[in-house]
Amino acid sequence: MNNLNHLRLAFVLSAIVLAFIHAPMSLRAQDATEKVTFDDHVKPIFRQRCATCHGPDKKSGGLDVTNFTALMQGGGSGASIEPGDAEGSYLYMLVTHEEEPSMPPGGNKIPDGELSMISKWIDAGALENMSSKASVKKKSFDTAMSGDAATRPEQVALPPHLPMEPVIHTEKTSTATAIAMSPWAPIVAIAAPKQVLLYNTQTLEFLGVLEFPEGIANVLKFSRNGQLLIAGGGQDAVSGKVVVWDVATGRRELEVGDELDTVLAADISSDHRFIALGGPKRIVRVFSTSDGSQVYEITKHTDWITSLAFSPDGVLLATGDRAGGTFVWEAPTGNPFLDLRGHTAQITGISWRTDSNILATCSEDTSVRLWEMENGSQVKTFNAHGGGTSEVVFTRDGNLATNGRDKVAKVWNQNGELQKQMSALDDIGTAIGYCNETGRVVAGDWTGKYYVWNFSDAVLVGELSPNPPLLAERVAIAQSQVQQTQGELAPVAVQLTEATAAMEQLRMQMQGIEATKATLTTEVAALEQQLATAKQSMESKAAEAVQTKTELDSHTTIQPQLKELSEKATAVAALSPTDPELQTTAQTLVAKLTSVDARMTELNTRIAQLTNETTTTQQEIEAMTQTFGTKQIELESANTQLTTMTTQMPPLEAAVAEKTTIVSQIREKVAAAEVALARWQNEVSFISQLAAIDAKIEAAQIEADNAAEARSALEAKLAALQAEISIALATEQAANQSLEAAQTERDAVQGIVQ
């Protein structure tokens, strides 16, 4: 090969290397190892180990393992190979003896080296030959379940913030078709057209919507640990399907079934491995949750499958039909276990006791029957509802909740003794549920209503709407409620302001009058003291005047006689000037007369003074008495006003208290209405955000699909280039060999010539 060809080959190789470098890591890892294919590696193993029973001549179980197409189609038990998942492939679990029946039957496992080759082949995508491309299916979801189904899980599954926009809102409600209770949380799921609605059984609060566009759910079931919720239903005579949601995320995780009629009965096994469904086609189909493939089907029923349930321990599957046929099967295989004979009409409900030892069935023949699972004998039979029993549910404590055509939901013990009877429904009872967490009974009827009672006292506590309003309607209602409550608040607030102002005004008036009363009381007390003092002074002066007048009267009585004696004595003394005694007597009498006259003058002056003072005091007393009377009148008036106002205050206080209470209540209503408005506005925003996220997810999915297509194209180009490289290398090798041969020949010729 000349240098130019070498350069061209180097260029091509460089391009391939660059493409390889920029390819996804998984692709480089896959291409870096030798391909394991069916034709080259696995088919020889199967031909040697399995072809005797599973070949073209003898297809045990409908499976031919020697033909790639036949192997991938599977056999009577469904798909045998899950490309990309050896551990989840039924055939691999059989040949490794992880599942029964082990293969080869009655012998040892095939050698580990061959098992390893089979595992590598499946995990690499189950390629048919060297030119095949891996197409590995993605598992729907992790089916692992932690913990015992009868034991409360460490983490109880609770729904996240779910959309509250109904899929549809109709003028009338349809029949209440299904109720499911979470085994470990206060959550109830109810069926409605094209949706499943979740409510809190304690508060009756609406928790959100799970879309079910397939139609209406005829059956709802929570898994035994409450992690999953399934809905089975569809459209009559058109289609049927079972849908699985993860309760904690609200995500739709899996769909199984593609029925030509609606699904009437469905359940999921306690280990989350299997989903069983049935309906008008009279076939029970059991699917694997790992990939949605059918595991087996049961065709023994002669009429519509109307009810079915896996046992809590996952060992058994009970099914019932419209003709009253009831059967129990081995859950993993569908092999017959028991044929329960006794009902004479449609089986309307099947429920297992938590220990899986007792099965309860109910029927349109009115009866509820309890069966033990050791040999299928009846433990108890009782007629629960006249006209027919529509559903039976075992409670965690072993009671039985039932509903029926007599329009009354009931709870019984296992001896058939009625424990509680709820108030009458509006129409025929169709569905029943019992919340073990809150002790509440939920029942639905033919009109589409769902009622909630306390089991303890059978008191009706409310209803659950199967037809909640659209968010736009909720926002409008909330806005109207805000406006209405604000309108109610305005006049009452004015009345409260007016009543408060009147009360405060009266209180201020009373305070003013109280102050006036206090002043008047002080003044009246002072006047009383002054009057007492004045009267005491006047009495003292009156007594002194009397005493002075008495003394004056005494002097007035003796003064004329004393004057006469004094004049006579003076006259006698004048007659005898030398008589000292006469002179002394005359002088004494004159002095005495002078003294008496002086005293009388003094007494008259004092009497005049006392008379003036008494008159003044009397005038003062009269003035004070008048003032005292006025003040007393004012005080009495103040007391009267206070008494009147005191009687006026309680009604005002009562009015203020009443208006305050009303205003407070209305403000609470306003606040609640505002909270409700904000809530529904936030829900509208939440829906918009979800729509935007969904749009991003869809765009990302389209981008991923386009990238996958581009990758497939690149892989095809890479394969073509690799083929060209192989041809080029082979050509180069041949050319080099020819060159070497020619050179050898030339050397030989040259040797001969020489």
Q: Tell me the DSSP string of 424-440.
A: PPSS-EEEEEEETTTTE
Average pLDDT value for residue range 566-588: 89
Mean residue pLDDT of the chain comes to 88
Domain covering 474-703: architecture: Orthogonal Bundle (1.10)
pTM of the model: 0.65
Long-range contacts of 634-639 (CB under 8 A, 24+ apart): 634/516, 634/520, 635/517, 635/520, 635/521, 635/524, 638/513, 638/516, 638/517, 638/520, 639/517
- pLDDT score of 106 more than 80: no
**Residue 326 pLDDT:** 97
Distance of alpha carbon 295 from alpha carbon 307, whole angstroms: 19
Distance of alpha carbon 631 from alpha carbon 638, whole angstroms: 10
**Residue 18 pLDDT:** 36
- pLDDT score of 237 more than 60: yes
Percent of the chain surpassing pLDDT 90: 61
At 152-208, the pLDDT tens digits run: 898 999 999 999 999 999 888 889 999 999 999 999 999 999 999 999 999 999 999
Domain covering 34-130: architecture: Orthogonal Bundle (1.10)
**Residue 431 pLDDT:** 97
Please report how the helices 580-753 and 3-22 are oriented relative to each other, as an axis angle in degrees rounded to 10: 150
Instruction: Tell me which residue has tokens 């037809």.
Output: 467
Average pLDDT value for residue range 403-417: 97
Phi-psi region of 387 (alpha: psi -120 to 50; beta: other; left: phi over 0): left
**Domain 179-468 falls in which CATH fold?**
Methylamine Dehydrogenase; Chain H (2.130.10)
> Secondary structure of 661-730 in the HEC alphabet?
HHHHHHHHHHHHHHHHHHHHHHHHHHHHHHHHHHHHHHHHHHHHHHHHHHHHHHHHHHHHHHHHHHHHHH
- pLDDT score of 225 more than 90: yes
**Closest by Cα among 337, 329, 326, 318 to 363:** 326
Categorize the per-residue pLDDT at 729 as very low, low, confident or very high, splitting at 50, 70 and 90: confident
**Residue 77 pLDDT:** 62
Residue 7 vs residue 325, higher pLDDT: 325
**Residue 9 pLDDT:** 42
* Distances from the Cα of 237 to the Cα of 125, 133, 215, 283, 323, angstroms: 38, 40, 12, 15, 19
Q: What burial class does residue 118 get, using C-beta atoms within 10 Å of its C-beta: 0-12 exposed, 13-18 middle, 19+ buried? A: buried
At 500-514, the pLDDT tens digits run: 999 999 999 999 999
Instruction: Choose the most confident range, by mean pLDDT, from 42-56, 216-230, 590-604.
Output: 216-230
Domain boundaries, the chain: 34-130, 179-468, 474-703
Structure tokens at 674: 């505002």
Categorize the per-residue pLDDT at 316 as very low, low, confident or very high, splitting at 50, 70 and 90: very high
Q: What share of the chain is helix, strand, coil (3-state, %, to 5)?
A: 45, 20, 30
What are the backbone angles phi and psi of residue 460, rounded to the nearest 5°? -70, 125
- pLDDT score of 144 more than 60: no
